[in-house]
């Protein structure tokens, strides 16, 4: 990686860390520049505006999430194994990768859901791509395949369990949050696969 690319990556990762803690809107260019050892003018060599940096943060974090949760699962032999691995890694993402600050994607979603513009559009696009990937996996869970409506419902439940885990662990302080989320997801896989037989 060239020096300029490495610096840009450091800026984006630092902005993502701050945004997970405080929200995208609260992250200032000056704070990010100081944290990575640049002047504010030095940061402008990499991003022409705060919005440009926010877009880079959303792009970086959503790609990071996909790489973290999907790539280790993509080559597993069955849809059930792939879905189980993705869910396990999704909880790891919340528990370990972002133990401080919580899941930035969730934070971004809450922050920009009612703020039309390029940042919201990009986040929505990336979340729709993720949903499409997992809906296809649910469709392949059984033979004959799940209908689109069934697969969409299963994905909705999967995401609800992941978000419920985040709420139970971070807000409610429930020590068994992960166990509860995992049990709920395993039951979803069992009944969805059984319905086909």
Q: What is the pLDDT averaged over residues 86-113? A: 88
- How far apart (Å, rounded) are the C-alpha atoms in residues 186 and 62? 25
Per-residue DSSP letter, 122: H
Q: When comparing pLDDT for 193 and 160, which is higher?
A: 160
Average pLDDT over residues 84-102: 88
Express each pLDDT in 125-157 by its tens digit.
Answer: 999 999 999 999 999 998 889 999 999 999 999
163: its two tokens:
């978000």
Q: Do 123 and 108 form a contact (C-beta atoms < 8 A)?
A: yes
User: Tell me: the pLDDT tens digits for 5-31?
Assistant: 888 898 999 999 888 888 888 888 888
pLDDT number for residue 136: 96
Neighbours of 190 (CB within 10 A): 11
Q: Is the pLDDT of residue 197 over 50?
A: no
Q: Report residue 182 as tokens.
A: 């995992």
Q: Among 136, 134, 184, which residue's Cα sits nearest to residue 162? A: 184
Model confidence pLDDT, tens digit, residues 30-82:
889 889 998 888 888 888 888 998 999 999 999 999 999 999 999 999 999 99
- 195 pLDDT above the threshold of 70: no
* Tokens coding 164: 């419920």
Provide the pLDDT for residue 157.
97
Residue that is written with structure tokens 């940042």 in the block: 119
């Amino acid at each position: 990686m060239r020096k300029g690319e490495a610096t840009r990556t450091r800026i984006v990762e630092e902005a993502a860390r701050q945004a997970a803690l405080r929200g995208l809107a609260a992250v200032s260019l000056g704070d990010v520049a100081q944290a990575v050892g640049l002047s504010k003018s030095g940061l402008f060599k990499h991003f022409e505006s705060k919005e440009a940096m926010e877009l880079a943060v959303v792009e970086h974090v959503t790609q990071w999430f996909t790489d973290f949760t999907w790539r280790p699962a993509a080559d597993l032999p069955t849809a059930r194994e792939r879905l189980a691995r993705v869910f396990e890694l999704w909880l790891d993402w919340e528990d370990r990768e972002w133990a401080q600050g919580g899941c930035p994607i969730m934070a971004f979603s809450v922050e920009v859901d009612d703020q039309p513009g390029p940042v919201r559009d990009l986040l929505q696009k990336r979340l729709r791509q993720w949903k499409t990937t997992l809906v296809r996996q649910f469709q392949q869970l059984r033979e004959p395949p799940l209908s689109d409506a069934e697969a969409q419902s299963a994905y909705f439940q999967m995401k609800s369990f992941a978000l419920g885990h985040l709420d139970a662990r971070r807000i409610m302080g429930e020590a068994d949050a992960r166990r509860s989320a995992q049990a709920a997801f395993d039951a979803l896989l069992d009944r969805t696969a059984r319905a086909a037989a």
